Amino acid sequence: MGKKLKLVLSFLIVALIMTFTSVITLASTGIDVNGQPVDLSNWKYEYLHDFYGKGSYLTLTSYTGGFTEKGEIIGSVPACIDGKPVSNMIYTFKNCKQLRIAPEIPFINSAKGLFYGCSQLVTIPDNYTNNIISDVSEMFYGCSSLKQLPNNFKLHPRITNMYAMFAGCSSLETIPFNLPENVSYIGSLFYNCSNLKYLPENFYIQSYVIKINSIFSGCSSLERLPEKFIIPDSVEYMQNAFFGCSSLASLPNDFTIPQSAKNITSAFSGCSKLTGLPNNFEIPNSVTDISWLFYKCGLKYLPDNFTIPDSVKKMERAFSMCTNLTELPNNFSIPEGIENISSAFSFCTKLSTLPDNFKIPNSVTDMSWLFYKCYKLSTLPNDFTIPNSVKNMSYSFGNCKNLTILPTNFRISSNVVDMSYAFTGCESLKTLPNDFKLPDNVEDISGVFSSCNNLTTLPTNFRISSNV
């Protein structure tokens, strides 16, 4: 009786598994889009069932056949197998390094990763993706030899997912299409398309889109955006959107960050030729983190009305390596509530002055490396001081070679713990304010005035805490 029970249970388990998926490696009949027979020994495919087992979707999972001298597949792609239409082609030709010419495909729902890693693919037939009605994510990911698309290349209007569709197409120079009206996922769409030079003038992002993170990241040849290009109010995530667009010299006049945006970190990082921002450019009050936003940008100035909203809590390296930035707008300020401003202006080697009202708000805990290697910075505002909230100011003024004096009322918070190398390399600093002293709670002052070669005397009440 025990053996019979085990057999029954085994049968039930197998039946349940087959309810969801059954892998077929050989079927009796297969036909292509032209009604011609297909050799199914070159294909692997699955019948994928929905959760309730009421429907099945035939998916081509891989091509196992050979290739012609021209780089075409042997035979054709099956459109039907045993009378059932092929619904999906998911990663079907993944890493087929010999494939040079894309085969004709049937009308399908998903082509996710269809040619993923096909690094020798160079030719796409006309009207190709008009046969795909939903998902083209990662379809041409890593097709590094693909230089151009057909002029009549079309995307079906019902496509919703274009995530990383052309990511890694490093030879692609232009695109002849606009985005379909129902698309909502376009993150990393042109990621590392390093030869993409321009977009169609009518290219725009649809109002359904929520994420455009890394959409043009690594497009190092992209010189400009269409004149009417804007980011719609639906977009919430645009981190790394233009990361590494080192040829992008300007933004459209009406370009700004939408009020819906939540994450814009590193959005323009590495835009080394971007020298200015549109006059109406603003950061919305929905943003909490602007870290790395303009890192390594070519910015020479910021718009007169440029402000950082009160919602921002972190701006680590926000303007770091902006080596052409000479000054900040007169009304520029760091808002109350911000906590991390580490390296915010580090390596801004031409920044010579700060606005008169510039101050560190009493919410900042980390201001380490804040002005590191701001070589031209010669003075600080009269009311500049270190508030009680600050704990870390290591390297904050390191290598400010032209800083000659600190404000008379300059004080360091008693809560500062780390002052290591805070003024290292300030070789023009000659004196410290009379009331200057190290905070009682400081624990690390290693190298605090190292290489301050012109600093010859210390204030009378200068002393080192017993915590050090």
* pLDDT, tens digit only, all 468 positions of the chain: 455 544 444 444 444 444 444 444 444 589 999 999 999 999 999 987 655 555 678 999 999 999 999 999 999 999 999 999 999 999 999 999 999 999 999 999 999 999 999 999 999 987 677 888 999 999 999 999 999 999 888 889 999 999 999 999 999 999 988 899 899 999 999 999 999 999 999 999 999 899 999 999 999 999 999 999 999 999 999 999 999 999 999 999 999 999 999 999 999 999 999 999 999 999 999 999 999 999 999 999 999 999 999 999 999 999 999 999 999 999 999 999 999 999 999 999 999 999 999 999 999 999 999 999 999 999 999 999 999 999 999 999 999 999 999 999 999 989 999 999 999 999 999 999 988 889 989 999 999 999 999 998 888 777 776 666
Contact 125, 152 (CB under 8 A): no
Let me know if residue 336 belongs to a domain. Answer: yes
Token output for 293 = 């936003």
pLDDT for residue 276: 97
Residue range of the domain that includes 84:
19-177
Which helix (H) or strand (E) element contains residue 56? strand 56-63
pLDDT for residue 125: 83
* Contacting residues for 35 by C-beta, under 8 A, at least 6 apart: none
Let me know if residue 283 belongs to a domain. Answer: no
pLDDT for residue 350: 98
pLDDT for residue 27: 41
Contact 253, 228 (CB under 8 A): no
Q: How many domains does the chain have?
A: 2
Let me know if residue 26 belongs to a domain. Answer: yes
Pairing status of strand 84-89 against strand 56-63: parallel
Let me know if residue 13 belongs to a domain. Answer: no
The answer, as to whether pTM is greater than 0.85, is yes
pLDDT for residue 24: 44
pLDDT for residue 154: 84
Contact 415, 439 (CB under 8 A): yes
Percent of residues, the chain, with pLDDT higher than 70: 91
pLDDT for residue 62: 98
Let me know if residue 183 belongs to a domain. Answer: no
Contact 119, 140 (CB under 8 A): no
- Domain end marker among 155, 177, 199: 177
CATH number at residue 160: 3.80.10.10
- Domain end marker among 151, 177, 203: 177
Distances (CA, A) of 380 to 68, 326, 327, 341, 438: 71, 15, 13, 17, 19
- Domain end marker among 146, 177, 208: 177
Pairing status of strand 43-49 against strand 56-63: antiparallel
Contact 373, 344 (CB under 8 A): no
Let me know if residue 221 belongs to a domain. Answer: no
DSSP state of 247: T
CA distance 425 to 453: 8
